[in-house]
Amino acid sequence: MGLSTAMEIGKNGLNIYRVAQEVTGENIANVNTPGYSRQRVILESAPPTTANGFPLGTGVRIATVERYYDGLLQQQLTNAQTTQGYDTTKSTVLQQIEPTFNEVAQDGLGAAISGYFGAWQDLTLNPAGSAERQTVLSRAQILTDNFHSVSTALNDSISIQNDTLVPLTNDINATLKNIAQLNSQIRTTELVSGNANEIRDQRDQLVRDLSQQIGITYTENSDGTTDIKYADGGEALVTGSAAGTFSLDKTTDPNKFAVQLTPAGGTVAATVAPVTGQLGATVALRDTIIPGYLQQVNDLATTITSQINTQHKLGSDLTGAGGIDFFDGTATDAATFKLNPLLTNTNQIAASSNALLTGDNSNALKLAQMQNLKLMSGNTSTFNSYFDSLVSKVGLDVSSSKNTEAQDIAFTRQLTTLRESNSGVSLDEELTNLIKYQRSYQASAKLITTATEMMDTVINMIR
Amino acid sequence: MRVTSNMSADTSLYNIQQGRAKLDRLQELTSSGTAVNRPSDDPINTRLLLDIVDKVKSTDQYSSNITKSDIWQQFTSTALTGMSDTLQQAKELAGTLVDGITDTALRAGVVSQLQALKQQMIDMGNTQTGDQYIFGGANNATPPFTNSPVQLPPPAAQNPDFAFYTGDESNINVEIGNNAAPMTMNIPGNQILTADTATSQNYGSTNILQAFDDMIYAVQANDVTGIRASSQALGEGAKQIFNAITDVGSRMTRLDSFTKMNENTRNTLMTVYSNTQTVDYAKLGVELSQQQVAFEASLSATAKLSQLSLLDYL
């Protein structure tokens, strides 16, 4: 009532605009914070009174400090991030494997196979020649070395994927715990007063980070907490302030950890089969993709072993004795592929098919001709074309995963741009607001000064 | 749509990255000179390229086989020609003996000449290329022919412990072309010099070395009938050698045509290979400078735009 009401309104204005400046200041300071959503003050008039005989408002007040947030975009972003996490991991690992199969740029297993059969060809021209016989053994050794190197590279990759599961699950567990903590903070804060905007932003960022590693579905509860469920099985990952944990079963198979999940609020770890996100990609690479390539290399090694051995044993060597196994018959895959340890002398190479004619070359000829026989893939392709198909397949897998990764990145980028457009801080805007609120602050201060002068006038009147 | 400064920064960065990636790829193509540097660059053409490389290696192996085979044929041809000449000399000598020789000293002279000629035949039968005896069949590590002892009662069949030829009659077959029948590289010595003991008498059935021995014995005994008979046998022998020379000639012709075929195949394959794999430098040069301009433009635009700010004016 009276002048003091005017002063009250002025003081109110000062307070409110100071707070508005603070919010603007908050936005400006956080312009580069990842995941930050800009906030704004929602101003409304204070409730009116009828002190003057008619209703008149009593100034301004802050209804709420609101953040710009699009729930749908967040949903889309989480899904896009999961796909991107899967494809990026797959693409990176496949590109690391590709050099092993890069037959276009350097001589590898394919050249070794050609070289080995070439040695048999040379032997047909001089079956008793010691240099030619030694070459057959040397080329066989080169073939062995190549098989070993390819096999080692693939096996190493598989065990690296296995080992990667440890830091990955630790990371996921830390994120889940943080989300659960933030959940309880949000709930407490919002019970007491208003919005916990910054904490919500942090939680949204964590949810997006988590979605890169595993596929998730989430729901917002009315008390402000977010419940997160695992997309590959439906188990609860975060319920309120309780978080689940991922663990690894390292004892059943030390080379192939099994991923297990203890749901939020539960106590028993159950095995899960990750399919999405980085976790899903790592498991798929370890269990399906890389072993697929390895299997083909192993098939090549075992078929070469058995076919060569069968034909070699039909022949006779330089001493007239029957041919023994050329390659070690106990080998089961490319890693154990090697020359027969009992084949120590070049005399033991069975080039002849007649025990009495040690200088005959017909067995060597048959062995050389084996390069052109269709002995792989159900008798539809030769050794060389089988390997060439494998190289081509690896190339196709790598190139298509590169393309998918590029598409995912473009899509995620588009969504991120939309989110930034909606929730990002624009410095131009904030600076304009700064000026605006400063002027309003000045005006409110002027109001108080004027009201003070009016008070002085009244007081001077009495004197 | 509302645009913030962060969005502009992101977009600029993204586009600079894209530009750099393109420049990087062009640089790789230019400096390596090959279009396909890894299987993922072009999976379909990778298959084609690897296939071609396999076939080229195959062709090279056949070429190598043909070259070695050719050397073998040439040695064979030289030896056979030598044998033919020696037989010619023997026939001429026999021609002067048709009516017998009464002079003992003259007879001894003729006998030693004949023995020398026979030894020549045997030496040529033991021709080697490298460390392989070309007329030995599968037993080509030891000399296939040995000379009979000086005094050999005819016919050699009565002396079963001795055999002129200790090689065998197997063929050495080698591959000279894809899906082509393997070529027999050698001629077993017994089919040439001791053909009546051979299983397949491809050139004739005369035992030339035996004919020499018979001639020597007949001259020593001054047996005119014997001399005439051996003379005839030597004549048959000459025809036999001639047939063998023709056969070697036809083999060399076959090798020749396969050499040409392999060469043509190889050239065709290498042409396809380089069409796929070699980069077009002119095209790359243009693309490189285009991309460079685009990249410079994006860098310049980024620099200019990022300097603008409301703060400069407040």
Tell me which chain A residue has its CA closest to the CA of residue B64.
A122
Helix (H) or strand (E) holding A184: helix A130-192
Q: Flag whether residue B253 sits within 8 Å of chain A, measured between CB atoms.
A: no
Q: What angle do CA B167, B171, B176 make, to 5 degrees?
A: 140
Domain that holds residue A238: 71-423
Per-residue pLDDT band for B238 (boundaries 50, 70, 90) equals: very high
Give per-residue pLDDT as tens, A216-251.
999 999 888 999 999 988 899 999 999 999 999 999
- Output the CA angle A54-A58-A60, nearest 5 degrees: 140
DSSP state, residue A47: P
- Residue in B195, B194, B232, B208 with CA at minimum distance from that of residue B94: B232
| Residues A307, A180 share a domain | yes
Average pLDDT of every residue of chain A: 92
Query: Exposure of A44 by Cβ count < 10 A (0-12 exposed, 13-18 middle, 19+ buried)?
Result: exposed
Asked if pLDDT for residue A386 goes beyond 50, the answer is yes
B71–A contact, CB cutoff 8 A: no
| Distance (Å) from the alpha carbon of A103 to chain B's nearest alpha carbon | 7
Does one domain contain both A161 and A57? no
* pLDDT for the residue numbered B161: 64
How much is the average pLDDT of B227-241? 90
- Cβ–Cβ contact A118 with B under 8 A: yes
Determine the residue of chain B that is closest to A432 in CA distance. B310
Q: What is the pLDDT of residue A312?
A: 94
DSSP state at residue B153: P
- Here the tokens at position A439 are 């002027």
Comparison of pLDDT for B136 and A408, the residue scoring more = A408
Cβ-nearest to B50 among A118, A391, A427: A391
Of B103, B52, B100, the closest CA to residue B266 belongs to B52
Please give the average per-residue pLDDT across B285-309, as a whole number. Answer: 93
A205 to chain B, any CB pair closer than 8 A? The answer is no
Q: Please, what is the angle between helix A383-423 and helix A71-97, to 10°?
A: 150
Whether residue A94 sits in one domain with residue A50: no
Contact check, Cβ <8 Å, A388/B47: yes
Same structural domain for residues A51 and A95? Answer: no
Interface of B with A in 114-133 (CB under 8 A): 130-132
Whether B64 has its CB under 8 Å from any CB of chain A: the answer is yes
Q: Are residues A48 and A87 in the same domain?
A: no
Q: Do A110 and B54 touch (CB under 8 A)?
A: yes
Do the chains contact at A420 and B10, CB–CB below 8 Å?
A: yes
Nearest to B170 among A104, A357, A372 (CB): A357
Query: pLDDT by residue (tens digit) across A100-159?
Result: 999 998 899 999 999 999 999 999 999 988 999 999 999 999 999 999 999 999 999 999
Say how many C-beta atoms besides its own lie within 10 A of residue B13's C-beta.
11
Domain count for chain A: 2
* Cα radius of gyration rounded to whole Å, chain B: 38
How far does B94 lie from chain A, in Å, by closest CA?
39
Q: Do B131 and A129 touch (CB under 8 A)?
A: yes
Q: What are phi and psi of A40, to 5 degrees?
A: -145, 155
Share of chain A above pLDDT 70, in %: 100
Could you tell me what percent of chain A has a pLDDT over 90? Answer: 76
The one-letter code for the residue type at A27 is N
Per-residue burial over A184-209, b = 16 or more CB atoms within 10 Å of its CB, e = otherwise? ebbbebbeeeebbbbbbbbbbbbbbb
Query: Hey, of B50, B140, B175, which one would you mutate to test binding to chain A, going by the most A CBs within 10 A of its CB?
Result: B50
pLDDT tens string B253-264: 999 999 999 999
Q: Where are the alpha helices (DSSP H) in B138-223?
A: 190-193, 208-221
Least confident of B17-31, B123-137, B151-165, B189-203: B151-165
Smallest CA-to-CA distance from B233 within B77, B76, B90 is with B90
Measured between CB atoms, does B10 come within 8 Å of chain A?
A: yes
Instruction: Check A385 against B174: CB less than 8 A apart.
Output: no
- Range from A70-79, A271-280, A357-366 carrying the lowest mean pLDDT: A357-366
- Which among A354, A357, A431 has the least Cβ separation from residue B311? A431
pTM comes to 0.89
Whether residues A26 and A89 fall in one domain: no
B38 and A102 within 8 Å at the Cβ level: the answer is: yes
Task: Write out chain A residues lying below 8 Å of B2, CB-based.
Answer: 421-422, 426
Do residues A231 and A367 share a domain?
yes
| Residues B191-225 pLDDT 10s | 988 888 888 888 888 888 888 888 888 888 888 88
CA A223 – CA A187 distance, rounded (Å): 6
Shared domain for A166 and A281, answered yes or no, is: yes
Distance set, CA A139 to CA A118, A326, B276 (Å)? 9, 13, 30
Residues composing chain B: 314
The residue among A380 and B102 whose pLDDT is bigger is: A380
- Report the pLDDT value the prediction gives residue B157, as an integer from 0 to 100: 47
Cβ-contact B76, B250 below 8 angstroms: no
Q: Is the pLDDT of residue B152 over 60?
A: no
Say whether both A417 and A433 belong to one domain.
no
Same domain, residue pair A223 and A77:
yes
Q: Which of A32, A104, A121 sits opposite B175 (nearest CB)?
A: A121
Residue of B nearest to A409 (CA): B14
Do the chains contact at B314 and A392, CB–CB below 8 Å?
no
Residue B160 has pLDDT above 80, yes or no: no
Mutate one of B46, B255, B307 to test the A interface: name it (highest A CB count within 10 A). Answer: B46
From chain A residues 430-459, the ones with a CB under 8 A of any chain B CB are: 431-432, 435
SS3 A284: helix
The answer to whether B309 contacts chain A (CB < 8 Å) is: yes
Please give the C-alpha separations between residue A200 and each of A9, A38, A336, A424, in angstroms, as whole numbers.
34, 12, 56, 15
For A329-359, b where at least 16 C-beta lie within 10 A, e where not — what string? eebebbbbbbbbeebeebebbbbbbbeebbb
Is-contact B174 A365, C-beta < 8 A?
A: yes
Query: What percent of chain B is helix, strand and coil (3-state, nearest 5)?
Result: 70, 5, 30
Q: Report how far residue A195's alpha carbon sits from residue A200's, in angstroms, rounded to the nearest whole number.
A: 9
| Cβ-nearest to B37 among A105, A125, A416 | A105
List, in sequence order, the alpha helices (H) in A327-370. 362-369
Q: Which residues 34-53 of B have a C-beta within 8 angstroms of A?
A: 34, 36-44, 46-47, 49-51, 53
Restricting to B residues 147-206, those with a Cβ less than 8 Å away from any Cβ of A are 168, 170, 172-175, 178-179, 182, 185
- The count of residues in chain A is 463
Residue B278 tokens read as: 């070699």
> Is residue A41 domain-shared with residue A148, that is, in the same domain?
no
CA-nearest residue to A131 within chain B is: B131
Rounded Cα distance, A213 and A282, in Å: 10
How far A110 CA sits from the closest chain B CA (Å)? 8
Residue range B5-54, pLDDT digits in tens: 889 999 999 999 999 999 999 999 999 999 999 999 999 999 999 999 99
Whether cis (ω within 30° of 0) applies to the bond prior to B154 is: no
Of B38, B68, B141, which has the smallest distance from its Cβ to A104's Cβ?
A: B38
For every residue of A294-310, DSSP letters joined together read HHHHHHHHHHHHHHHHH
Residue B42: other Cβ atoms inside 10 A: 21
User: Would the pLDDT of A449 be above 90?
Assistant: yes
Q: Are A440 and A16 in contact (CB under 8 A)?
A: no
Give the 3-state secondary structure of residue B192.
Answer: helix
B-chain CB neighbours of A372 within 8 Å are: 178-179
DSSP three-state, residue A76: helix
Please answer yes or no on whether B310 and A102 come within 8 Å at the CB atom.
no
The complex scores an ipTM of 0.88
* A166 half-sphere exposure, CB direction, 13 A CA radius: 8
pLDDT in tens, A328-358: 999 899 999 999 999 999 999 999 988 888 8
- Residue of chain A nearest B32, judged by CA positions: A105
Same domain assignment for residues A394 and A439? no
- Of A124, A140, A134, A144, nearest to A345 by C-alpha is A134
